[in-house]
Every structure is written in structure tokens, then in C-alpha cells.
Amino acid sequence: MSTFTLDKQAIDRWASGGRVKVTRVPDHVVLKITHNRQKQFLSMAGLRLLTQGIAAGRNKQATLLARTLGSIVALRRLGENWNGHDAAAPMPTALLKAVSWTQMMSDEVWNRGWVWHEPHISASEEGEVVLEWWQAPKSLTVYVSPEGMDYIQDNGMGGPAEMGDGSANTTNERLAMWQWMFGED
Amino acid sequence: MEKVQGDEWLYRRVRNLPENFRDERDGQGRKLPSSQAFSDRSKKISVDRAHFCENNPRYTLLDQTDVVVELLTDEVRAIHDVPCHNGQDAYRAIDVVPDPIYEHSTLPDNPAHALICATPEFAAKDEKHFKKLKQYLARLARWAYFPQ
């Protein structure tokens, strides 16, 4: 038996046909391959394809992330009263925080083998950076200010009192928020 | 001042910027408003009463590229569950009140102007409750005018 420890999402994608036994442990998966039965799937060519798959996944994440970061940086063009209703210009510190927070969050999501979803980028009337995700009927809105990150969870059904809220300053808080929105496990 | 009637439509002018609209589109190909389309620094949301605009949303435009979404007064007043910061069971009343503009230093005269406001008003520490109100209004909003 050969044992390889590889990226969970890439393995899941590759082994989606169920031909390979995948054992899940907390931070990764162990791919167990019996030579007699599975060697056709573990040819060097197969392994190379798997590696390329991982690289492609990383590239896709990098592309999505670059687009998001570009949208955050583009908020610099907005001045005072940018929305015609007296909104403050986005705060430079909030922009910097939003860039680092988004990079951190996408890494945390990716490292668990989850899928990163591109947020809509905006700014609030107070100059916070706003990241919004929608997945009908739910939506998740994160407000990034110099003081920290807060979120609003909307299940799309009740009124304002039914909406959840909290802070997204730690990995655990961010992952719990992400799980609520996208149902990852 | 004439009270805003429950069946009056309210126009909200929204700058046609990507920050104000989601990427998803409705059945007619128009982008859906984000919660940030209801951002107002005063925490009182500026609208125009359609009744005073001859039911023409273009009245509300300041720039020809602006977009207009509309809300129904009764639906806004029906929001009964925006919490007060200091009471678990205490909620704000959301109302629409006339606020005509005359002889303003920067704005043109606007007898149609009104405000969506809360009682008690939103204070700095109530930020998250105002954000939830914006979120909810984005759900209620319908399209009134989209530039060609």
C-alpha cells in the first residue's frame, strides 16, 4: 500500500468517481491506494495530472482573489459624497485592512478545501469597506473598519430582528461565518 | 405638512456605480441593488414621494446616469423589528416623513423630498441595526427607472 498526503479539494475533485479510497483527517486527507487494484490510476501520468489539478485550483483561487483585491483598491477613487447621499470616502486604513483580511480569509477557506466565492465590493456611508455575498435566499455582508470586521447574516426570510451579526476577527469566527453562508463542512 | 400616505410610492436615487449593485440581474437584465444603495450618512434615508413627482421617477435624477428604485410606504412602515440597542424586546418605529427642501445651499428645491427614519433615531452604537435596515430595504426595493 502507498500513502500520499495531498490537498483535500484536489483529491476530492480527482476522486469524485469514487475509484480511490480517501480517508479524511482534520487538516488533510490520506489517499490510500492498493497497487493491485489501483495502479492504473496511480501511473506517473495520473500523478502528474493530479499535481496539475492542484496547481490549476491554486491559479483559479489566485485569479479570483486578484480580482477582489483589485476591486478593493479601486475604492480609492471614491471621494466624499460618492453616492450622492453624503457617504464618507472609504478610509485608507479600512482599505488596507480589507486587503489583508480578504487574503487571510481566502487562504483559510482554501486550506480547508472549501471553495472561495468572490464577494461584491462596496463601501458604507461611514467609509468602511463592504464585502457582500449572495446565495439565494441568504446573504452575508462584512464591514471592515479600522477597528475590526463585523458581519450581518440575512437568511432572506425574516425582518431585521431575524438577521444575525457578529465579528469576524478570528479564524474560528470567519470559518463559522463562511459555513453558515455556504454550508461547508 | 401633509402626512405621507401608506399607498404612496417612494423613489430612491442611486448612483449608477458598481458599488451600489449586485452582479446578479433580474428577469429584465437589470442589476439588483445592494444594501449599500440605501447608505445615508445621516441614518435617515432620503427619498422622493412619487405622488409629488407626477409618478415619474426621472424627476428624482440628479444625473442622467442615475438609477431609481422604489419602495412602498406601507411596506416601510411595516418594519417593526429593528431593535433598540438597550432593550431586548424594544423595537424602533420606522416611518416616512415629509422633508421638502427649499433654498438649500447645494441642493435644488424639492417639495417631494421625504425621509425614512427611525424612532428612536440611530446613534453611533446602533450601527449594526441601521445596517440591517439597509439590508432589508434592498430586499423590498423594486426598479423604477434604469437609464438606457
pLDDT tens per residue, range A119-158: 999 999 999 999 999 998 999 999 999 999 999 999 999 8
**Local structure of A119: helix, strand or coil:** coil
User: Is the pLDDT confidence value at A37 over 60?
Assistant: no
Strand ranges inside chain A, DSSP E: 2-6, 21-25, 28-33, 120-123, 129-135, 138-145, 148-154, 164-167
CB B79 within 8 A of CB B140: no
Query: Which of B13, B22, B23, B36 to probe by mutation at the A interface, max A CB count within 10 Å?
Result: B36
Which pLDDT band, with edges at 50, 70 and 90, does A23 fall under? low
Strand ranges inside A11-147, DSSP E: 21-25, 28-33, 120-123, 129-135, 138-145
Return the closest-CA partner of residue B128 out of A179, A163, A137, A98. Answer: A163
Q: Which grid coordinates belong to A103?
A: 487574503
Range with the poorest average pLDDT among A45-49, B29-33, B83-87? A45-49
Hunting for cell 486578484 — which residue is that? Answer: A66
pTM: 0.82
DSSP run (H or E) holding B122: none
User: Is the pLDDT confidence value at B57 over 90?
Assistant: yes
Residue A53 phi/psi, 5-degree rounding, is -60, -45
User: Is the pLDDT confidence value at A2 over 80?
Assistant: no
pLDDT confidence of residue B125: 79
Nearest CB to B62; choose among A71, A84, A165: A84
Mind listing the pLDDT tens digit for each residue in B83-106? 887 656 688 999 999 999 999 988
Residue of A nearest to B130 (CA): A160
Mind listing the pLDDT tens digit for each residue in A73-82? 999 999 999 9
* Cα(B114)–Cα(B93) distance, integer angstroms: 16
Average pLDDT, chain A: 80
Q: What is the mean pLDDT of residues A155-170?
A: 94
Nearest CB to A124; choose among B17, B36, B81: B36
Residue of A nearest to B12 (CA): A85
Strand partners, A131: A121, A142
Burial A35-49 (b: 16+ CB within 10 A, else e): eeebeeebeeeeeee
Mind listing the pLDDT tens digit for each residue in A80-110? 999 999 999 999 999 999 999 999 999 999 8
